[in-house]
Amino acid sequence: MKRESVLSDLEKESIIIEKLIFHIIIEDELKPVYLDEVFLDDSQKEFFKKRLYDASQGSQFLFIDKTTSVVYKECQSIIGNIDKNFLQASKNITALFKAQHKKNMADGVFVVALVSISLKRKMIFLIKLDHKLVYRYKLDGKKATLEKIKNTFIEDKTAIQKISLIDMSDHYSWDLLASERNSDGIRDYFKKFLQVVEKDDAYVLTDRARVIARQWASNNKDLKCSNENPSDYKIRAVNYLSSHSLFDSNDYIDYVIFDEDLERREIAKSSFKEYMEIKGLYGQSFKPSQKAISAAKRRNTGKTAEGLTLIWDGNSDDVNMFIPNEPDPNDNLFHIEIKTSNIAFLN
């Protein structure tokens, strides 16, 4: 079964850059300046590895049709014969990227890299870096050497405009992860270049974020705050989705996992992060859909063993209801307490 999650921390730590090259894109030039080789020192290799970490937190996409996608075919050719095809495929991908960008394009470089995950799965890493007065490269014919100067791009990732990590192993349920500077997803022309669509839309992801907190709390009673029930975690999830214009996984975790016991909170946060990874939510970036957190979906529902359904809005304390986390040791039953000034029988 294909994995829903993005790269795990162990997978990210195992990343090895096997080959990397960039080609130079100048807006006023008809075609890129193609290089034959790029030399990187250890700090520069570490920079690109960290950018791979960034790429592994992007939104999930699927190729519309692998049989017609030029980018996918070029990536496939690299995997088929790395030594023979890598350089030419990198040039073809760069040329396609420049050709697809019809509007003003900032001068920069387009990076193509072959990476391995856990020494077995192959991925293709694409990144567009804007030219800024933060780095330079020395050309020796068709070879380039990067030189570190003050505030080089090794130290400044704001030069990164677009980034994508393409899975060539068919190990994941997604085909690629992609993100773009100053954007909650990727723009239309970058989609057209890659020929992809979102694996899940904002409604699906928002709905998943709405319910996942309650599911985790229900499955991990030993890690949740002792005086709360699973609905409290769902309420915080909904509040986060209602008050934030862009979903950020780590901010979401910090918001949902509340506990005055700091040690238990850190353990719970780590567990919740792993659960989000399994469910394919961690690392996603999207604008929360308000339709997915409508009044009906915000409502909390519980059902007793006897078939009694409890429905309430907000925290149980707000409606004068107490739901214990554990059964009473005297009779092994949950003693639910509800206080009200009136009862209206609807049927």
What is the phi-psi region of residue 14: left when phi exceeds 0, alpha when psi lies from -120 to 50, beta otherwise?
A: alpha
d(CA 303, CA 216): 18
Question: What is the per-residue pLDDT for 280?
Answer: 86
Residues 166 and 225 placed together within one structural domain of the fold: no
Residues 255 and 301 placed together within one structural domain of the fold: yes
Residues 210 and 189 placed together within one structural domain of the fold: no
Residues 108 and 47 placed together within one structural domain of the fold: yes
Number of domain units in the chain: 2
| Of 326, 322, 325, the residue nearest 336 (C-alpha) | 322
Residues 18 and 139 placed together within one structural domain of the fold: yes
Residues 191 and 205 placed together within one structural domain of the fold: no
Q: What element of type H or E holds 337? A: strand 337-338
- pLDDT tens for residues 4-60? 777 777 888 888 899 999 998 888 888 999 999 988 888 888 888 888 887 777 789
Residues 54 and 163 placed together within one structural domain of the fold: yes
Residues 194 and 220 placed together within one structural domain of the fold: no
187, part of any domain: yes
Residues 225 and 176 placed together within one structural domain of the fold: no
Q: In whole numbers, what is the pLDDT of the chain averaged over residues? A: 85
Tokens 């509340």 correspond to 258
Let me know: does 213 contact 229? Beta carbons within 8 Å. Answer: no
Question: What is the per-residue pLDDT for 134?
Answer: 46
317, part of any domain: yes
d(CA 125, CA 113): 5
Pairing of strands 143-147, 16-25: unpaired
Which of the listed residues 153, 180, 198 is the one where a domain comes to its end?
A: 198
d(CA 209, CA 207): 5
pLDDT exceeds cutoff 50 at 154 = no
314, part of any domain: yes
Residues 21 and 69 placed together within one structural domain of the fold: yes
- The dihedral built from the CA positions of residue 329, 330, 336 and 339, taken in this order, carries a sign that is negative
The residues, ordered by sequence, that sit 6+ positions from 85 with a Cβ below 8 Å of its Cβ are 77, 78
CB burial class (10 A; 0-12, 13-18, 19+) of residue 264? middle
Residue-range definition of the domain harbouring residue 88 = 9-198
What are the structure tokens assigned to 50, written together? Answer: 């960290």
Which of the listed residues 148, 173, 198 is the one where a domain comes to its end?
A: 198
pLDDT > 90: what percent of the chain?
A: 37
pLDDT exceeds cutoff 60 at 149 = no
What is the Cα Rg of the chain in Å? 25
Residues 163 and 285 placed together within one structural domain of the fold: no
162, part of any domain: yes
3, part of any domain: no
Which of the listed residues 172, 198, 224 is the one where a domain comes to its end?
A: 198
283, part of any domain: yes
Question: What is the per-residue pLDDT for 50?
Answer: 83
Residues 173 and 55 placed together within one structural domain of the fold: yes
1, part of any domain: no
d(CA 200, CA 190): 18
- pLDDT tens for residues 69-125? 999 999 999 999 999 999 999 999 999 999 887 666 778 889 999 999 887 789 999
136, part of any domain: yes
Amino acid at 150: K
